Structures are given as structure tokens and as C-alpha cells.
Amino acid sequence: MNQYKIKQDICEIGRRIYAKGFAAANDGNISVRVGDNEVICTPTMHSKGFLKPDDLCTIDMDGNQLAGRKKRSSEALLHLEIYRQRPEIKSVVHCHPPHATAFAVAREPIPQCVLPEVEVFLGDVPITQYETPGTQKFADTIIPVVKNTSIVILANHGTVSFGEDVERAYWWSEILDMYCKILMLAKQLGPINYFTEPQERELLEMKQRLGWSDPRLTEDYKDCDICGNDIFRDSWQEAGVEQRAFNPPPRMGTGENRPASSVSSDTEALIQTITNRVMMELAQ
């Protein structure tokens, strides 16, 4: 394994992140696992746009620094937890893509069944509950969702994506941010149009032929609504996630929308109560 080449690749991805506006100032961090107990990672308080191979650190799987003249990133614990949960993962990229981070701040789930590339490359995207960055509690927030995705939205923070190499890990962040941007633009024009179930299944079959897994293709989720964000829906309440900005797609096979959330129902009830009172006052 050519560790110098890996360090060059990390620096290149750092430049892309900075150039795309995914990491202001010293935001973000990148790592690559190079052994059972060795991880190369970016240093703290250093712009990702101007990294040199000599700036990078080597740490063990407990977060102890083994090499490097600069201190390792404080958020390395998040990377290490992903490596522990997913031993096949070789690289992790954490950054703050602005459009995806807007969804993180709003805690709005990412709609499914809209763009082919997103269905094939990403699938359902979870949002974690919020914890203070840099802590083990923060790192632990990915545990309930990390095995069923390649990218996670960190509530009120940013994204973390992972894959078999640093470029692939970065791709998922770029795809997700572009998708979130398109969703915001499309919403200004009118309602979002969703794929039909046969159209979505064609995409999932394509994904399967490419050798990529998707929880929606497994026995555990065979009876779920294929476009209904069902993979991570059980985590929404604890994470404060709720569909507010984007209407859910029709339930597959029924043509009916999902029922509104309890908060939305309460809001509608309050509006109706106020309307009734106003009408009574006008009648008098």
C-alpha cells in the first residue's frame, strides 16, 4: 500500500471540498484506513483546500496519534466509529455541503423516488439526532443507521459519507448536495413529481445489477412503501425529523398520500379552531 499516494489523494479531495464550498475555513475532515489499527486523517484547525501530505496524521483505532507533526482532527472519533461498524469501509469524508446541511438544520427527510442517480447511488438517506461534535456521543449517533447507507446527514451539522476509497466516499456528498439543491429549486416551481412503483423498481434492479445493495431489496423491507422513506422512519421521532417542506409521495399501489404527522395534524386543528372563532365573531 502506497501511503504517500493515499495522502496525495486525501489532499486532492480536500481541495475539491474547499473549492465546492463544502468546507469553510478549517471545516471538515477526511480519513483513510490503511491497516487493522492505522488510519490516516486530516489535522485539526487546517483548511482542507491547502493540505500537503506532510500535514496529515496517523492514528490508531482508539484515536491515539501515532505520527504527524500536527494534531489530529477532534472529529476523528466519528470516522473511527464508522470503521468499527463497517469494517469493509476504507475512507470517510465529513463536510458541510450547504444544501444538504440546510436539510440537516431543518431536519427535513430527503425525498425518495425523484432522481434516478440518487436512487441508484444513494437510496434512503438518514438524519441522526444532534450531539455535540467531537464527542463519543456524537460519534455514536451514526450507529443505528450506518449499516444501511453510504451517507448520513448529521443534524444541525453537515454530512458524513464513506466508501471503498476516498474519491468514492466524497462522491456521495457531492451527489447529495446537488440533489438537495435541485429539490429546493424545483419546489419554487411547483409540486415535486415522483416515480411510479414500476419506474422505481427498474432503478433498483439496475442498482442490483451494478452490484450495489439497497435495504429496499432485502426481505426485511420487502413489504415497505418503496418510496416512503421507510428504512429510517423509526429514527425520526428521536432525531426530531419530520416532513414539512416536501409532501410525501403517494403510497405505492394506493394513489393516496401518507397521513400527515401528528405535529401537522395539530397545526391544522389549531388553524381550524382559529378560523371557526373568527367566523363566529364575524357572524355576531
Q: Give the model's pLDDT for residue 269.
A: 55
The grid coordinates listed for 133 are: 461534535
Q: Give the model's pLDDT for residue 112.
A: 96
Q: Give the model's pLDDT for residue 224.
A: 87
Residue ranges in the chain whose pLDDT is less than 50: 254-255, 259-265, 267, 271, 278
Burial 154-175 (b: 16+ CB within 10 A, else e): bbbbbbbbbbeebebbbbbbbb
Q: Domains (ranges, CATH) in the chain?
A: 3-189 (3.40.225.10)
- Residues 109-142: pLDDT tens digits? 999 999 999 999 999 999 999 999 999 999 999 9
pTM for the predicted model, two decimal places: 0.87
Determine phi and psi for 70, rounding to 5 degrees: -115, 155
- Report how far residue 223's alpha carbon sits from residue 150's, in angstroms, rounded to the nearest whole number: 23
Q: Give the model's pLDDT for residue 276.
A: 58
Indicate the Cα dihedral angle 155, 157, 161, 165, nearest 10°: -160
- Report how far residue 261's alpha carbon sits from residue 112's, in angstroms, rounded to the nearest whole number: 18
